[in-house]
Amino acid sequence: MNTLKLWMTAIGFSLSLVVSATEGMWMVAFLNRVQHAEMNNLGLKLTPEEIYSINQACLKDAIVRLNYGGCTGEVVSSKGLIFTNHHCAYDGIQTLSTVNKNYLQDGFCAKSFDEELPIPNFAISFLVRVENVTEEVLSVATIGMAEADRDKAIAAKMKEISGRNKENGKYEPEVKSFFYGNEYYLFVYQTFTDIRLVGNPPESVGKFGGDTDNWMWPRHTGDFSMIRIYANEKNEPAAYSVNNRPYEPKYHLKTNMQGVEEGDYAMIMGYPGRTSRYLTSFGIDQAINGRNPALIESFGKKLETWKSFMDKDAEVRLMYAAKYASIANTWKYYIGQTQGLKKLDVRSKKAAIENKFTEWVKGDAKRQDQYGNALGLIKDYHNEWDSQVVLATYSALCLSGGAEFMGYANALNKELKALLDEKDPGKRAEMKEALKNERAEFWKEYNANVDKGVFINLIQLFRERVAAEQQPSWMKDILDKKFKGNVQKMADEIFLKSLAISESAFNAFLAEPEQKTLTKDLGLQIAAASATFTDEIRAKNPTSKFNKGYREFVAGYREMEKRPLAPDANSTMRVTYGQIKNYKAADALIYDYYTTSNGILEKWDDTNPEFTVPSELIKLLQSKDYGPYANKKGELVTCFIGDLDITGGNSGSPVMDANGNLIGIAFDGNWEAMSGDIAYEKDLQRTICVDIRYVLFIVDKLMGGKNIVDELTYYRPAPVVSAPTPANIQEVQTPKEPLENKNNNADSPKKEGTKNNKPKN
């Protein structure tokens, strides 16, 4: 079926309407005429089929999903080389590092395939195809069906559709809900697991600015890393093997070294994780007054505790580097989101939409029947659940999901009980071996002293913030009665004796498994009781009212608006487009659209670990030894911004020009628009990108990776007749294109010199 026709029919777009050129994370498989026209008006030179196709190589085939949706990457060579963000490969780099060979701190660059390092537990997926399965999925949802029964029937149908598209394990299919259950789409992926680290800059480059600069502009961070996909002799996914070879992709991006100018067209394709653009004013109240403050405080306490240990011990600092970075990013995000929601008065904007919706519904009897209860259901949901949100958040983040051992101990408790129930000696032996391996894996990046500090501080925080009558029974029965409320003493016993912590206790149990050992184990008891407590709170969430209310509200809102509306992000491939732009951050404060290496020297501070700079880089920058990577003014551009609409999951996404060539890598949003996942702010919202020329400057000049620079394919626009270059101005040249890359120009979506590929003057 014609996908364009299907999409247009399904949601009734009016082609005559003018839409925002930038707001929205649009499904690449179903770009409608309105979006494509807007993209063309801004400068796009590609057809929809050159962006997404199942019949020919296209941009879609160069965009990859990392670790099932955590980040995005792009294929940039015919040998399966992937560019992504430094923070996207951070965990893998940390895993490969030791105190004596610290790739995070010092950087790494393979000079040959043989030097590339296998990254454990890393997956890269290609999107094969997308299908609209809305009609089939919703066929099981009958009128008058109870919401719980409806959810169950739909889940079963989604599982059935996924199951029949696996093709004997060749693919990984999944069905995703869109527009709060109004539409459903099947996504089919092919996943590779032999992934190897090719290179990453030193942390002082890849994470320059640290938490201070996180979410901020101006930015000078070289947030990139390089990995490679390996495949078997048939170019198919395979487990790691020394016999595997670099993957040969269907399509890879060319690199454009011409740079960007203000007003240039730009677009991003990637896997944005989650937005809540249809959230109501009730949801804003919940975020500001309930969930966010509790989340910020809980994560802040964990970070504070971790840092106190990391600052004292290099081994702990390395072990917890990735965990700390991940939580710190989320923590600061919610601080910014809360401030943004308040400052930009998002609640009033949402309330205005709801008032408009209410009046529209009242204007027609049919609409009243279809959508008249929607906002009432949403309001009822919040009336019931908002009183529990703070408790639910503290319980999840301070108890069951607080100290690391709590989650491990709860899972371990269930596995040990299963071991006790198993009567077959052979299976028991297998289970014991599996338990030993699990424990060894957990302890690779675990420090009991650190986790003990987290446990104490988060339990104390929970008790301070949650009323006694709302606390779990074990706090009264164990903490108060046995330990007189002293969390330190309780922690001392747990971390000394619990078999979740003590290796000797763990091995003793495996030698002689007994139920009474589990029953007496204080750590296992508290972990299990905390998990049960959290689950019981979550069970009170009236999700049926939420689901039905938002499904009807969003359906009605789309009908009311009669214009293209993008679905919320849900870790599926999307495209967002716009222009390279500056912005006004505050009164009399206008930020330029790009930064240069001068800013690195201005921020350089050897007394602050977030702003240290490698001495070799200092020399290069001070001598202005930029090589072929400078712009026309002789500057080394580090980062740039554009009014592109992204969110978490887009980290590592390619920023492309009008011809689909790589000009940068997206890595962040800006502080002034941190509420953008809930309400897009067109005048403020910007995507922060590392310039591809700075990436290659670091690879070539600092990391010594000329082999990588030579491996890339470079976009070369047709010559432009212009006035002679003055003799005193040196023309900037791009790196020489490698002769051995036989298909450097074979897979471009637009061949140079064609009508639709004229360079901009």
* Sign of the torsion angle spanned by Cα atoms 660, 664, 667, 669: negative
d(CA 222, CA 202): 9
Give the active site residue among 204, 651, 675, 748.
651
One-letter amino acid at 326 equals S
DSSP helix, strand, coil percent of the chain (3-state; round to 5): 45, 15, 40
DSSP-assigned letter for residue 23: -
Give the active site residue among 86, 87, 220, 382.
87
Per-residue tokens: 160 = 């059935």
Burial 509-531 (b: 16+ CB within 10 A, else e): bbeebeeebbeebbbbbbbbbbb
> Do the beta carbons of residue 474 and residue 530 sit within 8 Å?
yes
DSSP-assigned letter for residue 477: I
Per-residue tokens: 193 = 């697991």
Place of tokens 């259950």: 181
One-letter amino acid at 296 equals I
> Do the beta carbons of residue 200 and residue 156 sit within 8 Å?
no
CA separation, residue 464 to residues 294, 470, 574 (Å) = 12, 12, 43
DSSP-assigned letter for residue 702: I
CA geometry: angle at 325 spanning 321 and 326, to 5°? 120
Question: What is the separation of C-alpha 335 from the centre of its chain, rounded to a whole number of angstroms?
Answer: 18
At residue 307, the 3 state secondary structure works out as helix
d(CA 155, CA 138): 10
Helices 448-465 and 292-310 pack at an angle, to 10 degrees, of 150
DSSP-assigned letter for residue 714: B
> For this structure, is 223 an active site residue?
yes
Burial 389-416 (b: 16+ CB within 10 A, else e): bbbbbbbbbbbbbbbbbbbbbbbbbeeb
> For this structure, is 87 an active site residue?
yes
Q: Which of 653, 692, 694, 667 is nearest to 73 (CA)?
A: 653
CA atoms within 13 A on the CB side of 255: 30
> Do the beta carbons of residue 463 and residue 472 sit within 8 Å?
no
d(CA 434, CA 444): 16
Per-residue tokens: 44 = 């796009």
The residue count for the chain: 761
At residue 114, the 3 state secondary structure works out as helix
DSSP of 565-611: -PPPP-SS-EEEEEEB--EEEETTEEE-SEEETHHHHHH--TTSGGG
Give the active site residue among 61, 194, 223, 264.
223
At residue 389, the 3 state secondary structure works out as helix
Per-residue tokens: 300 = 């802040």
In 193-233, the DSSP E strands lie at 195-200, 225-231
Q: Bridge-partner residues for 72, per DSSP?
A: 65
Q: Bridge-partner residues for 640, per DSSP?
A: 594, 689
One-letter amino acid at 17 equals L
> Do the beta carbons of residue 42 and residue 265 sit within 8 Å?
yes
One-letter amino acid at 233 equals E
Q: Which of 294, 289, 300, 420 is nearest to 342 (CA)?
A: 289
One-letter amino acid at 624 equals K
DSSP-assigned letter for residue 442: H
- Please list the active-site residues: 87, 223, 651
